[in-house]
């Protein structure tokens, strides 16, 4: 019997208690004698109250929401320095307009307001940089946040908008961005926006002595990724385990190995991968452990923004991890160093012979570099674009918003407002 069916049965029945008879009288009109009640040895379990419940293994809670049973993330302690690596949330447009004082009339107006808020929350450079001209994630319109640090989407059939910040965005965001976003989402809920975190990734970095592929594989075979104790003895009920990369050759190991538990379409998906080697350093010991959570059948509370470490240990193995040394400045420094060194290696392998010969033919190194470098001073190659400074004018400074004001709301006529009634139209940026 599935977890959802057990919860629904518990909601409609009370185990250990006899159900009342349909009628107290028989067909002949005489009073029906009730059979003596026997005490059941099964412990009485309370039926699920509204938005409450307890899992059979006492691991996660259950809630009844919109007729469906959903899990609530379990809170647990973690010594790891956990940080947010991805966040996607959705909210109702009408509630946002109500909170914003109904100052927006078009999708571009709302995008301009979100652009200003993103810079206020996450720092300079997080405004909307451009409008894509196509939809994303079942929304009709989409916009780019910052230097491809996220997206803003609007035009959903349920009149909702979406904001998504990627790992690069969180790496460059201000330290107090999570607190500001939490306060903003809490206010949206007060105005009936029905805010939902649809995806959040929690991660911990290990620059030295991080969990290896062999340790991860051994932990899986010990059952340390089985979330429900009753499934320990049945390996067919264990989550899926996949390995990406070649573990049999040095070239494959130097390129990095990724271990994954779960499925990308499920609510929980755990990854352990060689982050430094993924970026291009074959000798790097930088390992990242990342937990991706979605809200398909799970309720993700807003509190995860303030205390991500308390929601990180959704698998038993995560509780046994050593303390991580995840620091944002250290992560940015190592990423920049690895990216630059990897770019030098590419140039040496592909064009090293040409450079050596051309250097001997040129009058000077400066002349050779002047002849070889690109003419566009603002162009950055894709590999180095992630460490490039963002240079653009935010959308809320470029977009012209139409705001209509009535200086005298009582000045009217039979045909509406006259030219001298106090009506004025202004263009505000």
63/70 Cα distance (integer angstroms): 5
Radius of gyration of the chain (CA): 29
DSSP single-letter state for residue 227: S
What is the side-by-side order of every strand in the sheet holding 83-92? 128-131, 141-145, 150-154, 160-165, 83-92, 196-206, 287-294, 268-273, 258-262, 241-244
Whole-number Cα distances in Å, 173 to 19, 82, 168, 343, 421: 59, 16, 9, 25, 48
pLDDT, tens digit (0-9, with 9 covering 90-100), for 120-158? 999 988 999 999 999 999 999 999 999 889 999 999 999
Comparing 377 with 8, which gets the higher pLDDT? 377
What element of type H or E holds 326?
none
Residue 20 has pLDDT above 50, yes or no: no
Distance CA 421, CA 411 (A): 5
In sequence order, the β-bridge partners of residue 204 are: 289
Cα–Cα distance, 151 to 376 (Å, whole number) = 27
Strands (E) in 82-121, as ranges, are: 83-92
Write out pLDDT tens, residues 345-392.
Answer: 777 778 778 788 888 788 888 887 877 777 666 666 665 665 555 656
Least trusted range by pLDDT, from 178-187, 283-292, 384-393: 384-393
Which range among 173-182, 283-292, 314-323 shows the weakest confidence by mean pLDDT?
314-323
Residue 48's pLDDT band, with cuts at 50, 70 and 90, is very low
Between residues 119 and 359, the one the model is more confident about: 119
Distance CA(216)–CA(220), nearest Å, equals 6
pLDDT at 7: 52
- pLDDT of 189 above 90: yes
**d(Cα 25, Cα 15) in Å, to the nearest integer?**
26
pLDDT, position 190:
93
pLDDT at 358: 80
Of residues 429 and 202, the one with the higher pLDDT is 202
- For the chain, the residue count is 429
Task: Please give the residue that has the higher pLDDT: either 286 or 20.
Answer: 286
Give bridge partners of residue 163 from the DSSP assignment: 89, 152
Q: Is the pLDDT of residue 213 over 90?
A: yes
What 3-state DSSP class applies to 129? strand
**Which residue in this structure is represented by tokens 């099964």?**
42
pLDDT band for 177, please (50, 70, 90 cuts).
very high
Answer whether 126's CB lies under 8 Å from 118's CB. Answer: yes
Got the DSSP string for 168-215? HHHHHS-TTHHHHHHHHHHHHHHTT---EEEEEEEEEEESSSPPPHHH
In which band, very low, low, confident or very high, does the pLDDT at 399 lie, cut at 50, 70 and 90?
low
Closest CA relative to residue 165, chosen from 181, 179, 176, 154 = 181
pLDDT score of 196: 94
- The confidence score (pLDDT) of residue 232 equals 78
pLDDT in tens, 56-90: 444 455 555 566 667 777 776 666 788 999 999 99
Average pLDDT over residues 203-222: 92
- Mean pLDDT over each residue of the chain, to the nearest integer: 76
This prediction's pTM = 0.67
User: Is the predicted pLDDT of residue 406 greater than 50, yes or no?
Assistant: no
Cα–Cα distance measured from residue 84 to residue 201, given in angstroms and rounded to the nearest whole number:
6
Average pLDDT over residues 216-227: 92
Q: Output the pLDDT for position 291.
A: 95
The angle subtended at Cα 265 by Cα 276 and Cα 75, nearest 5°, is 75
Q: What is the pLDDT of residue 85?
A: 93
Whole-angstrom distance, CA of residue 115 vs CA of residue 108? 10
Whether pLDDT at 279 is above 90: no
User: Does residue 53 have a pLDDT over 80?
Assistant: no
Both tokens of residue 299? 């309720």
Report the alpha-carbon distance of residue 180 to residue 185 in Å, rounded.
9
Return all residues near 392 (Cβ < 8 A) that are at least 6 apart: 129, 130, 147
Q: Cα(42)–Cα(37) distance, rounded to whole angstroms?
A: 14
Average confidence (pLDDT) over 94-123: 90
Burial class (CB in 10 A: 0-12, 13-18, 19+), 165: buried
d(CA 62, CA 4): 9
Predicted confidence band of residue 17 (pLDDT cuts 50, 70, 90)? very low
């Amino acid at each position: 019997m599935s977890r959802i069916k057990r919860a629904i049965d518990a909601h409609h029945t009370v185990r250990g208690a006899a159900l009342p008879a349909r009628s107290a009288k028989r067909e002949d009109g005489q009073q029906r004698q009730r059979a003596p009640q026997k005490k059941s040895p099964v412990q009485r379990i309370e039926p699920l109250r509204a938005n409450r419940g307890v899992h059979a293994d006492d691991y996660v809670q259950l809630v009844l929401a919109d007729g469906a049973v959903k899990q609530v993330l379990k809170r647990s302690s973690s010594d790891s320095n956990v940080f947010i690596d991805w966040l996607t949330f959705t909210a109702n447009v009408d509630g946002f307009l109500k909170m914003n004082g109904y100052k927006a009339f078009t999708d571009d107006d709302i995008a301009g307001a979100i652009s200003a808020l993103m810079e206020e929350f996450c720092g300079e450079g997080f405004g909307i940089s451009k409008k894509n001209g196509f939809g994303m994630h079942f929304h009709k319109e989409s916009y780019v946040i910052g230097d491809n640090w996220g997206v803003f989407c609007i035009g959903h059939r349920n009149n909702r908008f979406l904001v998504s910040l990627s790992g690069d965005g969180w790496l460059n965001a201000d330290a107090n961005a999570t607190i500001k976003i939490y306060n903003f989402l809490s206010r949206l809920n007060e105005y009936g926006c029905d805010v939902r975190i649809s995806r959040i990734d929690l991660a911990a970095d290990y620059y030295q002595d991080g969990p290896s592929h062999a340790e991860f594989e051994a932990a899986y075979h010990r059952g340390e990724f089985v979330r429900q104790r009753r499934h320990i003895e049945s390996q067919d009920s264990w989550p899926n385990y996949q390995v990406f990369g070649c573990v049999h050759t040095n070239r494959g190991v130097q390129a990095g190995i990724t271990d994954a538990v779960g499925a990308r379409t499920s609510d929980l998906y755990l990854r352990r991968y060689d982050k430094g080697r993924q970026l291009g350093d074959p000798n790097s010991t930088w390992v990242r452990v990342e937990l991706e959570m979605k809200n398909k059948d799970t309720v993700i509370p807003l509190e995860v923004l303030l205390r991500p470490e308390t929601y990180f240990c959704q698998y038993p193995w995560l509780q046994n991890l050593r303390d991580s040394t995840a620091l944002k400045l250290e992560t940015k420094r190592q990423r920049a160093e690895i990216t630059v060194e990897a770019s030098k290696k590419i140039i040496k392998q592909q064009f090293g012979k040409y450079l050596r010969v051309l250097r001997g033919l040129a009058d000077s190194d400066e002349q050779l570099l002047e002849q070889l470098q690109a003419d566009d001073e603002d162009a950055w190659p894709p590999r180095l674009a992630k460490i490039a400074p963002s240079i653009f004018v935010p959308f809320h400074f470029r977009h012209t918003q139409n705001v209509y004001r009535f200086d005298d709301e009582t000045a009217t006529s039979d045909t509406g407002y006259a030219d001298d009634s106090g009506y004025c139209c202004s263009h505000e940026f």
